[in-house]
């Protein structure tokens, strides 16, 4: 679903994470992308297409997520502007907002949000209602939520009431194909 929203030649930011890695795998047929990421595995996946320009942040390497984090990674986004950001979180709730397991990643995620014209949150429905350790900000930081069909109707309405577009991969991908 998320990959279907990306056109050849666009500039995108892909956050590190298992869901964003799946987005990257589904972008392998795109050409001329300008990709900015903090994930080594995403760099390798999309850098294999010679027409793509892939830019990777510097910073402290985190082996569990194959990502780079910290102040240097966040500073990388200071002079960039991308059309779309595909963001990952550890949890999201209407009370706590977007949350993540570690503080160092918050700086990078905030910088990504500031560098993007539009923010897409890619998160499976099991993360809705979860609250992780560090608070990124309210759900209103997101323009579009892309999730699975496990999303409860009440949660869908709550996102939409906040002006957040909701796309569920199993149903909406058929409509957009």
Provide the residue-wise pLDDT of the chain in tens; the chain has 177 residues. 999 999 999 999 999 999 999 999 999 999 999 999 999 999 999 999 999 999 999 999 999 889 999 999 999 999 999 999 999 999 999 999 999 998 889 999 999 999 999 999 999 999 999 999 999 999 999 999 999 999 999 999 999 999 999 999 865 443 333
Residue identified by tokens 């993540």 is: 100
Tokens of 36: 């900015």
In this prediction the pTM is: 0.93
* Cα 52 from Cα 176, distance rounded (Å): 24
* Cα 155 from Cα 27, distance rounded (Å): 28
Q: Is 82 helix (H, G, I), strand (E, B) or coil?
A: strand
Residue identified by tokens 């550890």 is: 90
**pLDDT value of position 64:** 86
Question: What tens digit of pLDDT does each residue of 139-171 get?
Answer: 999 999 999 999 999 999 999 999 999 999 865
**pLDDT value of position 175:** 38
- What is the DSSP pairing of strand 34-37 with strand 11-14? parallel
* Cα 122 from Cα 119, distance rounded (Å): 10
For the segment(s) 3-171, the CATH number from 3.40.470.10, 3.40.50.1360, 3.40.50.720, 2.60.40.3080 is 3.40.50.1360
**pLDDT value of position 169:** 85
**pLDDT value of position 27:** 97
* Cα 115 from Cα 81, distance rounded (Å): 5
* Cα 54 from Cα 13, distance rounded (Å): 10
């Amino acid at each position: 679903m998320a990959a279907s929203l990306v056109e050849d030649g666009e500039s995108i930011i892909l956050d590190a994470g298992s869901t964003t890695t799946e987005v990257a795998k589904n972008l392998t047929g795109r050409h001329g992308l300008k990709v900015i990421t903090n994930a080594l595995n995403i760099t390798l996946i999309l850098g294999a297409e010679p027409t793509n320009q892939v830019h990777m942040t510097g910073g402290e390497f985190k082996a569990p997520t194959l990502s780079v984090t910290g102040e240097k990674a966040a500073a990388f986004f200071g002079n960039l502007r991308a059309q779309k950001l595909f963001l990952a979180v550890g949890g999201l709730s209407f009370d706590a907002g977007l949350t993540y397991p570690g503080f160092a990643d918050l700086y990078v995620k905030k910088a990504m949000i500031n560098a993007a014209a539009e923010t897409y949150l890619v998160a499976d429905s099991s993360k809705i209602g979860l609250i992780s350790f560090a608070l990124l900000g309210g759900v209103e930081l997101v323009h579009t939520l892309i999730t699975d069909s496990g999303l409860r109707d009440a949660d869908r309405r709550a996102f939409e009431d906040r002006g957040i577009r909701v796309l569920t991969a199993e149903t909406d991908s058929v409509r957009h194909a």
